[in-house]
Amino acid sequence: MTTAPLTAEHGVGAASAAPTPAARTSGLRKVYGRTVAVDGIDLTVPEGAVLGMLGPNGSGKTTTIRMLLGLTAPSAGAVELFGRPMPDSAAEVLPFVGALVEGPGFHPFLSGRDNLLRCAMAEPLLPARAGARELRAAVDDALERVGLAHAATRRYRGYSLGMKQRLGLAAALLVPRRMVVLDEPTNGLDPAGTREVRQVIAQLHAAGTTVVVSSHLLSEIEATCTHVAVMNRGSLVAQGELADLLDGGTPTLDVVTPDREAGLDALRAAGITARAEVGGLLVELTGTDAPTAVATLVRAGVAVHEARRQRTGLEELFARLTEDER
């Protein structure tokens, strides 16, 4: 078993203490010809979490997701969904899993509603004796949820990229799920669409549904996820709770003060590293903590209007994790 080399080991430990995770992979590896797409992935998705998979293009996010869903057989390693091996248990597990993988896939000659109706007819959770009306109700419900009700009868051929993406999302939401997997769900969406996807994810999270969402948009992950897995070149370089990963970087304190010179002098006298910036000071919290730094400033008579602990942006973390390999 390989461990994540960077900051995130504690995340793995915490997850393994919990009951059966929604998804777990061990030593997952996929080789296409001589290309190693994914290597040694030990991913744990706790039940009820919103896990963001982050990584540059070609880092193996989609391949990992495809193996999670049993679309691709792993070259080595194992996948479990709700404690059951995949792809062997696909028939038992997949009815409870909704997914949008590698973009939306629909038939251009059918309307959005007819495309979804076709999906609904294949959906095991819509009971065999469900009449046409029940199927249609589920379809209209899903269309409403993604804001496509007005375009339901238009042919898929005429949909914009964003509308296609929404329809793909609707297919994943046709029935209540225990887990929803969304591969780059905001691709091609306008700001309003992006906000709606965030709302959908928040609703799913509130209902207790486990969500796995991949994205290369860091702000997206930071806004919606409770857990993060960062991938690079087919390896999992970090995973854990978002808050833990964010605290992993060099912590700093943002101090708003008009007395910058006096403040710098006082901090330097106390052996605390700091530098002046517009409107205040940026204090590095290595070897000290926030209360000590603030106390030092106040004792020196420096007016402190506001002091905010600055978390390392996920962007910085992401850059740090991947830049040395470029």
Partner 1 sequence: MTTTADHAAAPLAGPVPRTSTLRLVRSELRWVLRRPRTLVALGLLLLVPVAMGVTLVLSSTPAGGSGRGGPPLLGAVIGNGLVLPIAALSITMMLLMPLVVSMSAADALAGEAAHGTLRGLLLAPVGRVRLVLVKAVGVLTVAALAAGAVAVGGWVTGVALIGGDGLVTLSGTTLPLGTATLRVALAAAWVAAQMAAVGAVALAVSAATDHPLVVMAAIMAGLILFTVLGGLSALDWLHPVLLTDGWLSLADMLRDPLPTDNLVTGLLRAGCYALIGLSLAIARTTTREG
In the complex, the residues that contact partner 1 under the rule CB under 8 A are 18, 46-49, 66, 69-73, 82, 84, 90-97, 99, 101-110, 114, 118-119, 121-125, 127-128, 171, 175-178, 204, 207-209
Nearer to partner 1, 98 or 280 (CB): 98
Least gap, CB of 294 to partner 1 (angstroms): 34
DSSP 12: H
Least gap, CB of 51 to partner 1 (angstroms): 12
Least gap, CB of 284 to partner 1 (angstroms): 34
Long-range contacts from 91-94, C-beta under 8 angstroms, 24+ separation: 94/69, 94/70
Nearer to partner 1, 15 or 281 (CB): 15
| Closest to 5 (Cα-Cα) out of 222, 232, 251, 218 | 232
Nearer to partner 1, 242 or 266 (CB): 242
Least gap, CB of 302 to partner 1 (angstroms): 43
Nearer to partner 1, 115 or 232 (CB): 115
Long-range contacts from 6-10, C-beta under 8 angstroms, 24+ separation: 6/237, 6/238, 6/248, 6/321, 7/238, 7/240, 7/244, 7/245, 7/248, 8/238, 8/239, 8/240, 8/244, 8/245, 8/248, 10/240, 10/244
| Closest to 284 (Cα-Cα) out of 255, 253, 314, 308 | 253
Nearer to partner 1, 154 or 300 (CB): 154
Least gap, CB of 192 to partner 1 (angstroms): 25
